[in-house]
Amino acid sequence: MTERAPARLAVLISGRGSNLQAFIDASASGALNAVIAVVISNNPDAAGLHKAREAGIAALCIDHRAFASREAFDAALLEQLRSHRVELVILAGFMRILTSTFIDAFAGRLLNIHPSLLPKYPGLHTHQRALDAGDTQAGVTVHFVTPELDGGPPVIQARVPVQPGDTADSLAARVIRLEHLIYPLAAQWYVQGRLQLNDQGAYLDGKQIPATGIQYPRDVP
């Protein structure tokens, strides 16, 4: 069997880039058969840009404030992704709502990570919302991106128990450790050709993924 060439990824960030570092590490170790072709932030002060440059990765800022519309900003993003021959886009704390201009161009090749057990708590302040609701579990979901905010088909979820005395910060600290495990794993499934999106939903190895995603680590094949 011919070994697949490393896939070319783009990682889009807005802040510190903790999930970006997980991708850098997974690529370096061989756990992820991919190279990060470019890191792009909408925030010129994003610490993740420095992480990328220190790792020898092309890193640039496209400041959304310089554009008259979301569509114009997304068009500029697309131009850079195409120039870097990107095959898969990883949203890692990218705090911009993408338009159909962008999503349609990378349909089925666009992953996001969201710090809740989707479909619970799309949007912001997820950990506090889980605490306020009295949930006994919280967690994180990797999902395909579609036009519905945080509404694309889930790929994989990881769960943590909510402990007595938890705050949003303490819960987030436990969840983020799992983010760093499951996000590169989902990307590896994609670059292996195992993970796909079609009109019926997300599929792994030709089998439809449940509506709440594959449960990590219990159901990981």
Q: What pLDDT is recorded for position 2?
A: 52
Residue 71, number of CB atoms within 10 A of its CB: 13
Q: Please check whether residue 152 lies inside any domain of the structure.
A: yes
For 207, the enclosing helix (H) or strand (E) is strand 207-208
- Give me 27's structure tokens: 């690529």
Burial of residue 18, with CB atoms counted within 10 A of its CB: 0-12 exposed, 13-18 middle, 19 or more buried: middle
Q: Please identify every residue annotated as catalytic.
A: 114
Q: Please check whether residue 187 lies inside any domain of the structure.
A: yes
Q: Please check whether residue 2 lies inside any domain of the structure.
A: no
Domain of residue 124, residue span: 7-216
Tens of pLDDT, residue by residue over 77-108, are 999 999 999 999 999 999 999 999 999 999 99
* Angstrom distance (rounded) from CA 5 to CA 34: 8
Tell me the CA distances in angstroms from 154 to 43, 78, 81, 109, 204, one per residue in order. 27, 24, 24, 14, 11
**In the structure, what pLDDT confidence band is assigned to residue 1 with cuts at 50, 70 and 90?**
very low
Tens of pLDDT, residue by residue over 110-144, are 999 999 999 999 999 999 999 999 999 999 999 99
Burial of residue 8, with CB atoms counted within 10 A of its CB: 0-12 exposed, 13-18 middle, 19 or more buried: middle
Q: Please give the tally of structural domains in the chain.
A: 1
* Average pLDDT rounded to a whole number, residues 141-159: 96
Tens of pLDDT, residue by residue over 31-86, are 999 999 999 999 999 999 999 999 999 999 999 999 999 999 999 999 999 999 99
| CATH for 74 | 3.40.50.170
* Average pLDDT rounded to a whole number, residues 1-12: 85
Burial of residue 81, with CB atoms counted within 10 A of its CB: 0-12 exposed, 13-18 middle, 19 or more buried: buried
* Average pLDDT rounded to a whole number, residues 182-208: 97
Q: What pLDDT is recorded for position 4?
A: 81
Q: Do residues 147 and 170 make contact, with C-beta atoms less than 8 angstroms apart?
A: no
Q: What pLDDT is recorded for position 118?
A: 97
Q: Please check whether residue 1 lies inside any domain of the structure.
A: no
Q: Do residues 146 and 127 make contact, with C-beta atoms less than 8 angstroms apart?
A: no
pTM of the full predicted structure?
0.96
Q: What pLDDT is recorded for position 48?
A: 97
